[in-house]
Structure 1
Amino acid sequence: MFVVCLLMLTLGYPVAFTFAGVSVFFGLYAEGLDLFMLIAYRLYAIMTNITLMAVPLFIFMGLVLERSGIAERMLESMGLLFGHIRGGLAVSTVVVGMLLAASTGVVGASVVTMGLIALPVMLKYNYNQQLACGVICASGTLGQIIPPSIVLIILADVLHQPVGDFYRAALLPGLLLVLLYIIYCLAAAYFKRDTAPAIPRASRISSKQFWQALLAITPALTLVMVVLGTVITGIATPTESAAMGTVGAIILAVLGGNLRVSMLHQVAMETTKISAMVFTILAGATFFSMVFTYTGGDDAVERIMEYLPGGQWGFVVLMMIVIFLLGFFIDFVEIAYIFVPMIAPVLLKLDIDPLWFGILVALNLQASFLTPPFGFSLFYLRGVAPVSLGTLHIYRGVIPFIILQLIGLVIVMMFPDIVRVFL
């Protein structure tokens, strides 16, 4: 079933309908019509899942922050604060990527926003084209590991863990990635001066501009701290904090004078489209996992995994390799909803901490946004980058950041206590 699905995807068929269609064929062949009496119950369980209600709310919150210009002001302000040092614009892009990840969680919005604002500035000050492209794509994907991440919500649901625990566990690994990115940008600027030059003295920041920059960052940062703080401390559920964040984003747009009925309409339509895509894939994935389970697929996978050499570590290393390779061809939603449930029963058999494993999967899935040929961040940046910037520059630019993501993955794998620091 899995191989046929991959084949259909490479031929260009839509993801959700591919998994659902293949499931119908194999389900009819293996079990007949009786199996499909259960699909209505599965779909109803998705529709009534309160945790998953946080997904469209966080998408809406992120799009409001992006369309109201708050994200743009954050990026410009961070550029003013860090631009006077070599590699400073790249560092500011990473920091803003982290803030956008914590305030929006929408990779497409982050990459497009930074591509429109930060890329022209870095090219203007003679930044290396590959470094500029790589840092924008990589920083935009931080929304996959830094809460409130949609991936973490999905993985928490699939692995039957509290979303709040996943958020707390992901904080330090997310900050670790940010630190690795910053170290790389500063090192690249230090060892090769013309890679990331400093902004000329005439363009540097005054004390008045410094305080204005801090003032521009404060509202969104406050919203992020309130939204994440309520989840992490257990004051509110992820769905409640998402609803609060949505209201907070609208209030910030009102205070900034950027709230328009037309803007709200665009945000609502875009949220509907993204949410429909996610939940349609979820419906197809649920159908797939049901047929896979009832035809004995989970037992077969479990038996195979039990005979892997190396026990726990053999299983974890192999799964990380498989997920990384799958990321070249299919999206994080399909991997999280289809592949992870296939191997989840083995976690209990091998006594592997599902929280730690879920964070490893989330770190691994970040690379799926950067790996060609189907890395979505590459497409997002290509869509807004100037024509003079070649596609090969984007592909080459992300390679060091893919390596950094794998280094972060290995560090968390070797030191599992990292995910338990804030628990």
Structure 2
Amino acid sequence: MAEFMAILLFVCICLTLMAGYPVAFTLGGVSLLFAGIGILTGTFDASYLSAVPNRLFGIMNNQTMLAVPLFVFMGVMLEKSKIAEDLLESMSRLFGRLRGGLVISVCLVGALLAASTGIVGATVVTMGLLALPTLLRRGYDPAVATGTLAATGTLGQIIPPSIVLVLLGDVMSTAYQQAQLKMGIFSPKTVSVGDLFIGALLPGLLLVGLYIIYLIIVTFVQPQKMPAIPKEELGQVEWGKLLGALVPPLGLIVAVLGSILLGYATPTEAAAIGAVGATLLALAKGQLNLKQLRDVTHGTTDITCMVFLILIGASLFSLVFRGFGGEGLIEEVFHSLPGGVVGAFFVVMLVIFLLGFILDFIEIIFVVVPIIGPILLAMGLDPVWLGVMIALNLQTSFLTPPLGFSLFYLRGVTPRTVSTGTMYRGVVPFICIQLLMLVIAYFWPSLITWLPSQVYG
């Protein structure tokens, strides 16, 4: 009976979320409702709820989670300081005279913006507003244009510093400690956000390279889809302006990631560097004033409150789910799957991929990963590799029709003359590229684990 209640709890939460109710209150409210029913029916041990105060205090006192508002502040500040607009204009002048040059510029600028903001919605909307009208006016195929923009926007999921990796790092650290307890191992080793940042660096850069290779191939196979811009329309490349647009955001990313890689700063301290650096860049561009600062702080507060409220609700859910014996049920199912750890891993990846259609990445990270993470890690999977694979998987589901969140963001800024079907057609090749990236990372796990091993030994 108790295990049935655990399954029913999970199903009810998914249905309530799909109905459009607020995530944080759904997770906490439905979980407490089921806990009350369980206490009355004798299927739930009320002692599990005694851990709630410690859980809440631990969330608010978590130094790693302090990086979330700082990285969000950095991203929102860069989004509103028009850095992407200047960079896209300069890169278009550099590559526009080549066939496909504009979409290659979009890919490079989008990757840089994704690394700067770490927020998928911000990257997709910003690039859509800036680049899509130009691409359509220049005769670029709408499917190629929208597909490139949507795919490039999802790079914010995997290229560090990424909010997804910050949240995953905290959850995977807890899951790794629980897995060690299951195995009877008491090791001081932990999984940090820095581990995931470094582990995701090579796959993220490789993914950008695969995007560009695909676009170059299309220019040879179907050149009419991506025409070149006449030189007389572009004018001369202003190298000073190009460097002025490229160096500041690139320098900020290097400062943030470099301070982590070289061991000078923790991810939280590096996030503070990024927040201060983004503010100084906005000031240098004359984009910092009282109204701008108020808008940025309001945006940061909104996103941060949402994240922490969801985390509190997810903590209540995990306690109640565990109190009903749900974790033991899932562990039993995983161990009975054919193929052992490989079969369990593929089932989990498929479930996360499908849940990515209906749930935001925050819900998946806080609800699903704490349940399946300790079990998979106790079966012998590397925590850094598993965390990056989950991030890559979420990135793919966010791009997949008909419910990919990246497509919803782009649809909001795309002219009605471009049909939704055209957008779906455009993202299919990029979905295949991301699936290829998952396959590569699966068969060559050192692509993810090598760099962290070199940095941290």
Q: Fold-level match, TM-score > 0.5?
A: yes
Q: Give the whole-Å Cα distance in 1 for the aligned partners of 2:56 and 2:397.
A: 27
Query: Which residue of structure 1 aligns with residue 54 of structure 2?
Result: 41
- Equivalent position of 1:310 in the other structure: 339
Q: Work out whether 1:2 is the aligned partner of 2:4.
A: no
Q: Which residue of 1 aligns with 2:176?
A: none
Q: Which of residues 411, 415, 419 in structure 2 aligns to 1:390?
A: 419
Q: Which stretch shows the higher mean deviation, 261-270 or 80-89?
A: 80-89
In 1: Cα distance, 2:403 partner to 2:299 partner: 22
Q: Distance in 2 between matches of 1:59 and 1:344?
A: 26
User: 2:52 and 2:235 mapped to 1: Cα distance?
Assistant: 60
Residue 34 (structure 1) shift: 4.3
Contact persistence 1:330–1:374 (CA under 8 A) = no
Instruction: After superposing the two structures, state which structure 1 stretch, 286-295 or 343-352, moved more.
Output: 343-352
Shift of 1:271: 0.9
Residue-by-residue CA offset, 1:58-78 (whole Å, 9 max, x unaligned):
111111111111121112222
Other-structure match for 1:291: 320
CA deviation map 1:231-259 (0-9, x unaligned): 12221011111111111111111111111
Contact persistence 2:28–2:314 (CA under 8 A): yes
Number of equivalent positions = 422
1:139-150 aligned within 5 A = 139-150=152-163
User: 1-side partners of 2:47 and 2:88: how far apart?
Assistant: 55
Structure 1 position 388, deviation (Å): 2.1
The residue that corresponds to 1:234 in the other structure is 263
| Residues 1:328 and 2:351 aligned together | no
CA contact under 8 A between 1:158 and 1:341: conserved in structure 2?
yes
- For 1:198, the equivalent position in structure 2 comes to 228
Give the one of 400, 403, 408 matched to 2:437: 408
Name the CA distance, whole Å, in 1 between partners of 2:438 and 2:124: 22
Distance change in 2, residues 1:281/1:373 (3 Å): farther
Residues 4-403 of structure 1 mapped to structure 2, 5 A cutoff: 4-30=12-38, 31=44, 34-160=47-173, 161-207=191-237, 209-403=238-432
Residue 341 of structure 1, CA deviation: 0.9
Post-superposition, which runs of at least 4 consecutive aligned residues in structure 1 deviate over 4 A?
none
CA, structure 1 residues 194+380, in 2 after alignment: closer, same or farther (shift >3 Å)? same
CA contact (8 A) 1:80 1:210 kept: no
Q: Which moved more, 1:400-409 or 1:146-155?
A: 400-409
Deviation per CA, 1:40-85, whole angstroms, max 9, x where unpaired?
2211111000101111111111111111111211122221221121
1:32, distance to aligned residue in structure 2 (A)? 6.2
- Give the deviation of 1:210 after TM superposition: 3.2
Q: Which ranges of structure 1 fall in alignment gaps of 5 or more residues?
A: none
Report if aligned partners of 1:19, 1:288 keep a CA contact under 8 Å in 2.
yes
Deviates more, 1:113-122 or 1:387-396: 387-396
In angstroms, what is the RMSD of aligned CA positions?
A: 1.4
Q: Residue 165 of structure 1 contacts residue 232 of structure 1 at CA under 8 Å; is this kept in 2?
A: no
CA distance in 2, matches of 1:379, 1:304: 35
Q: Distance in 2 between matches of 1:12 and 1:63?
A: 26
Deviations 1:179-199 (A, max 9, x none): 111111111221111111111
Distance 1:62 1:92 in 2: 20
Q: CA deviation at 1:396?
A: 2.4
Q: Distance in 1 between matches of 2:77 and 2:90?
A: 19
- TM-score normalized by the length of structure 2: 0.89
Take 2:386 and 2:87, find their aligned partners in 1: how far apart are those partners? 33
Deviation by residue 1:168-213 (Cα, 9 ceiling, x = unmatched): 1000110111111111111122111111111122223424x13321
Partners of 1:259 and 1:152 in 2: CA distance? 29
Code of the residue aligned with 1:117 in structure 2: it is L
Q: Tell me how far 1:351 sits from its aligned partner.
A: 0.8
Q: Distance in 2 between the 1:271 and 1:348 partners?
A: 33
C-alpha distance in 2 between matches for 1:391 and 1:90? 20
Q: Secondary structure at the match of 1:371?
A: coil
Offset, 1:330: 0.9
- CA distance, structure 2, for counterparts of residue 307 and residue 15 of structure 1: 32
Asked whether the 8 Å contact 2:318–2:371 carries over to 1, the reply is: yes
Distance 1:197 1:211 in 2: 27
> Identity of counterpart residues, as a percentage?
51
Answer whether contact 2:121 2:406 (CA < 8 A) is retained: yes
Q: Which runs of 5+ in 2 are unaligned?
A: 1-8, 39-43, 174-190, 453-457
The alpha carbon displacement at 1:217 in A equals 0.7
Task: Decide whether the 8 Å contact of 1:71 with 1:100 is kept in 2.
Answer: yes
SS of residue matched to 2:381? coil
1:33 CA displacement: 5.0
- Offset, 1:214: 2.2
Q: Specify the SS of the correspondent of 2:160.
A: coil
